[in-house]
Amino acid sequence: MKAVTWQGRRDVRVEEVPDPRIEEPTDAVVRITSTGLCGSDLHLYEVLTAFMTPGDILGHEPMGIVEEVGAGVPDLSAGDRVVVPFQIACGGCWMCLNALPTQCETTQVTGEGMGAALFGYTRLYGAVPGGQAEYLRVPQAQFGPIKVPEGPPDDRFVYLSDVLPTAWQAVAYADVPPGGTLAVLGLGPIGDMACRIARVRGAERVFGVDLVPERLRRAKARGVETYDLRDYADEKELVAAIRDETDGRGPDAVVDAVGTEAHGSAAARLAQQAASLLPRKLGAPFAERFSVDRLAALYTAIDLVRRGGTLSLVGVYGGMADPLPMLTMFDKQLQIRMGQANVRRWSDEILPYLTDEDPLGVDDFATHRLPLDEAPRAYEMFQHKSDGAVKVLMTP
- Which positions lie near ligand NAD, rule CB under 6 A? 38-40, 42-43, 162, 166, 185-191, 209-212, 215, 229, 257-259, 262-264, 296-297, 314-316, 340-341
- How many Å is the Cα radius of gyration of the chain? 20
Which of ligand NAD, Zn ion, none is residue 264 near (CB under 5 to 8 Å by kind)? Answer: ligand NAD
Q: Of 75 and 331, which has the nearer Cβ to Zn ion?
A: 75
What's the min distance (Å) between Cβ of 229 and ligand NAD? 5
Question: How close are the terminal C-alpha atoms of the chain, in Å?
Answer: 10
Q: How many Cβ atoms sit within 10 Å of the Cβ of residue 329?
A: 14
What's the min distance (Å) between Cβ of 370 and ligand NAD? 16
What's the min distance (Å) between Cβ of 292 and ligand NAD? 15
Q: Of 26 and 169, which has the nearer Cβ to ligand NAD?
A: 169
Find the Cα–Cα–Cα–Cα dihedral 368, 371, 374, 379, rounded to 10°.
40
Which of Zn ion, ligand NAD, none is residue 360 near (CB under 5 to 8 Å by kind)? Answer: none
**Where does the chain show beta strands of DSSP type E?**
2-8, 11-16, 28-37, 62-69, 81-83, 135-138, 146-147, 181-185, 205-210, 225-228, 253-256, 310-313, 335-338, 368-371, 392-395
Name which of 67, 81, 57, 79 is nearest 133 in CA terms: 57
Q: Of 148 and 257, which has the nearer Cβ to Zn ion?
A: 257
Which of ligand NAD, Zn ion, none is residue 220 near (CB under 5 to 8 Å by kind)? Answer: none
Which of Zn ion, ligand NAD, none is residue 316 near (CB under 5 to 8 Å by kind)? Answer: ligand NAD
What's the min distance (Å) between Cβ of 188 and ligand NAD? 2
Q: From residue 145 to residue 184, what is the string marking binding to Zn ion with x (rule CB under 5 A)? A: -----------------x----------------------
Which of Zn ion, ligand NAD, none is residue 47 near (CB under 5 to 8 Å by kind)? Answer: none
Whole-angstrom distance, CA of residue 296 vs CA of residue 388? 24
Which of Zn ion, ligand NAD, none is residue 42 near (CB under 5 to 8 Å by kind)? Answer: ligand NAD
Which of ligand NAD, Zn ion, none is residue 106 near (CB under 5 to 8 Å by kind)? Answer: Zn ion
β-pairing, 392-395 vs 28-37, is: antiparallel
Tell me the three state secondary structure of residue 297: helix
Whole-angstrom distance, CA of residue 393 vs CA of residue 379? 11
Q: Of 43 and 306, which has the nearer Cβ to ligand NAD?
A: 43
Name residues contacting Zn ion, limited to 32-51 (CB under 5 A).
38, 40
Angle between helix 343-350 and helix 163-174 axes, rounded to 10 deg: 90
The answer to whether residues 58 and 5 touch, using CB atoms and an 8 Å cutoff, is yes
Whole-angstrom distance, CA of residue 275 vs CA of residue 51? 11
The binding site for Zn ion (CB under 5 A) comprises 38, 40, 89-90, 93, 96, 104, 106, 162
